[in-house]
Structures are given as C-alpha cells and as structure tokens.
Amino acid sequence: MHIAVITIFPEIFKAYLNESIMKKALNKEIVKIDIHNLRDFTSDKHKTVDDYPYGGGPGMVMKPEPLSNAIRHIKSDGIDTLTIMLTPQGRLFTQKVAEELSAEKRRLLLICGRYEGIDERIRETLVDDEISIGDYVLTGGELPALVIIDAVVRLLPGAVGDENSLREESFSWGILDYPHYTRPPEWQGLKVPEVLLSGNHKQIALWRRKEALKRTLKRRPDLIEKARLSEEDYKLISEIKEENDGFHKRN
C-alpha cells in the first residue's frame, strides 16, 4: 500500500511512524508513506499557507495555491490516487472504512488541514472523499490522519505478527472485545477465571464469546443490532438476559 500525506507538521508523522508496528510495516515494505511539507509548495519568502477569510470572522483559512501545488506535484508521477481530507464534516471513520481503505488499489493521499479550514474550491475540485474520526474538533488533521494510517496499516497482510489475531478480532464482527488475562493466576486477591486455565479450547471460545456479548449489551447495545450474530450468539444473549433477571429478582 502507498500513502502520501500533506501537512505543515511532518515531524508529528515521523515520530509516530518510527515506532513499533508502523516502523516494522515500513521496513518490511508492506506500506510506503511519503510525508510532504506544505510549506515547500509556497512561493513567498515567509512560506505563507494561510490567509484571512473572505466575509470576515475569526481565524484563518488555508490558501488554495500551496495545496493545489502540493497535490499536483504528488500526482505528477501518474500514480492513480484517492485524495482524502480529514475534517469533522466527513463521513465517520469505522472499522468498516478501515477495511475498505486497506483493500484500496489506489495510493491514498491524506490532506491535513489546520486553522478554520481549507479554501472550499480545493475541496470541490481536488478532494475525492472527506473522513471524520469522530464528532469532535481538533487543531489539525494530523492526528486523524495518523489514526487512519494506523487502523489501515495493521490490516495489511504481514503487518501484525499473528494473522489470526486480526480475523478473530471481535470488532471485525461488530461487537466489543472479551476480557484478557495474563500471569500471575492470582494478583492482589483477584483470580483469573478458571475456564481460561482449563485448556479446554471449546469452553474458552464459548466463555470469551459470551463475555464479549455481555460487555456489548451493557456498554454498546447499539452495536448488537448491527452485528452479524450467529444462532449460538442469540442463545448466549438469552442466557445473559436470564442471568440478569435472576440477579435482579434475588437482589
């Protein structure tokens, strides 16, 4: 996969991408990431990337010229490119969108805005898609771009150590993850659930599935409605509901 980024803060990307899974994926050439500094595409001596908004109001707007120069420069190699802008006005980024982007054949070009926004004419003419990582406002598109890069790269074959850890991941089923435990078997009086020490893989899988459903019902019932659930899942949900009813009656 090939990703390009336009930002006025390239160092933010270098810091994060030089650690852990991202660094390994880059070294293994699973992904290639080119970070472009928007200021390199300015033509005045102050390297100006912003200007006052027409119509007045607070803050500054990103000038069209440097952005268009940067986008055209990147695209000048002729590689088919999907240009995405990070903005609270975009479509919501979910695991499904991460999966969709990880299967993308085109190079991804992520545009990180700053200030109050970018000139609307850039969005109209050069941006293919707009993505938001959630309903909140940040000072720039850099963190959203890194969130997207991280979520997409870890889905690429070979990026994460164990291939199965991705396929079994509960979020890819649309529900929350089950609880995890490691040594010691008892810590500060708290025991690891017996079943996890039993070596009974069938029972362990069932327990985990039930705990995942339990958490999802309690914390994110909205996900249950959309999730792809099996016959067995519905049986587990009935069990959970019966256990809860019993609990309320007894207490």
What distance in Å separates the CA atoms of residue 220 and residue 36, rounded to the nearest whole number?
A: 39
Q: Does 66 participate in binding ligand 4GN (rule CB under 6 A)?
A: no
Q: How far is the CB of 138 from ligand 4GN (least distance, A)?
A: 4
Q: Nearest to ligand 4GN by Cβ — which residue? A: 113
Q: How far is the CB of 6 from ligand 4GN (least distance, A)?
A: 12
- Considering only 88, 104, 171, 217, the residue that binds ligand 4GN (CB under 6 A) is 88
Q: Does 57 participate in binding ligand 4GN (rule CB under 6 A)?
A: no
Closest by CA to 94, choosing from 171, 200, 15, 193, is: 171
Residue 2 phi/psi, 5-degree rounding, is -120, 125
Q: Does 54 participate in binding ligand 4GN (rule CB under 6 A)?
A: no
Strand partners for 110: 5, 84
Strand partners for 118: 62
Going through the chain in order, the beta strands assigned E by DSSP cover 2-7, 32-37, 50-51, 61-62, 81-92, 107-112, 129-132, 186-187, 190-191
- Tokens 């707009």 sit on residue: 130
Q: How far is the CB of 91 from ligand 4GN (least distance, A)?
A: 10
Q: Does 133 participate in binding ligand 4GN (rule CB under 6 A)?
A: yes
Contact range with ligand 4GN by CB under 6 A, out of 37-45, 112-120, 196-204, 213-221? 112-120
Round the CA-based radius of gyration of the chain to a whole number and report it: 23
**Residues in 209-228 that interact with ligand 4GN by CB under 6 A:** none
Closest by CA to 131, choosing from 114, 144, 118, is: 144
Of residues 112 and 212, the one with the C-beta less far from ligand 4GN: 112
- Considering only 3, 107, 141, 209, the residue that binds ligand 4GN (CB under 6 A) is 141
Q: How far is the CB of 227 from ligand 4GN (least distance, A)?
A: 24
- Considering only 54, 136, 182, 202, the residue that binds ligand 4GN (CB under 6 A) is 136
* Alpha carbon distances (Å) from 251 to 176, 215, 217, 240, 247: 28, 21, 21, 17, 6
Structure tokens at 150: 């991280």
Handedness of CA 43, 45, 49, 53 (dihedral sign): negative
Tell me how many residues contact ligand 4GN (CB under 6 A). 16
- Considering only 59, 134, 179, 184, the residue that binds ligand 4GN (CB under 6 A) is 134
Of residues 83 and 87, the one with the C-beta less far from ligand 4GN: 87
Binding site for ligand 4GN (CB under 6 A): 86-88, 113-114, 116-117, 132-134, 136-138, 140-141, 144
